[in-house]
């Protein structure tokens, strides 16, 4: 990608205490120092979202995906689909919507 783009390079000199602070801030955000500096220069801030709470949402999505696959197989075999199967899907979808709403309301941002 860089071969086709014209890039600019600039050397910046930091005092040891400044560099230590940059390294500490980058480490807090799990970023390389170069990525931290680039983001701070271009954006003025770094927003890191804590998405650890979405595990229940991912699990619910996997469950409903399995249900959809099972229902699709049954529909292909029998050439019909049952109302009960539709209700199972609706229940799974409602659960995903509830979990998504909960995750979004609990989502926390850390600013650098």
Nearest to 68 by CA among 93, 42, 46: 93
pLDDT tens profile 15-62: 999 999 999 999 988 899 999 998 888 888 777 777 777 777 778 788
Q: What does the DSSP 8-state code read for residue 3?
A: T
Residue 1 banded pLDDT, cuts 50, 70, 90: low
């Amino acid at each position: 990608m860089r071969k086709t783009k014209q890039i600019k390079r600039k050397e910046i000199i930091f005092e040891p205490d400044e560099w230590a602070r940059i390294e500490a801030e980058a480490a807090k955000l799990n970023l390389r120092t170069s990525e931290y500096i680039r983001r701070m220069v271009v954006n003025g801030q770094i927003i890191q979202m804590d998405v650890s709470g979405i595990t229940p949402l991912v699990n619910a999505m996997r469950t409903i995906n399995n249900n959809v696959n099972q229902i699709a197989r049954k529909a292909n075999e029998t050439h019909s689909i049952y109302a009960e199967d539709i209700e199972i899907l609706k229940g799974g979808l409602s659960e995903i919507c509830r979990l998504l709403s909960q995750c979004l309301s609990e989502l926390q941002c850390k600013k650098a």
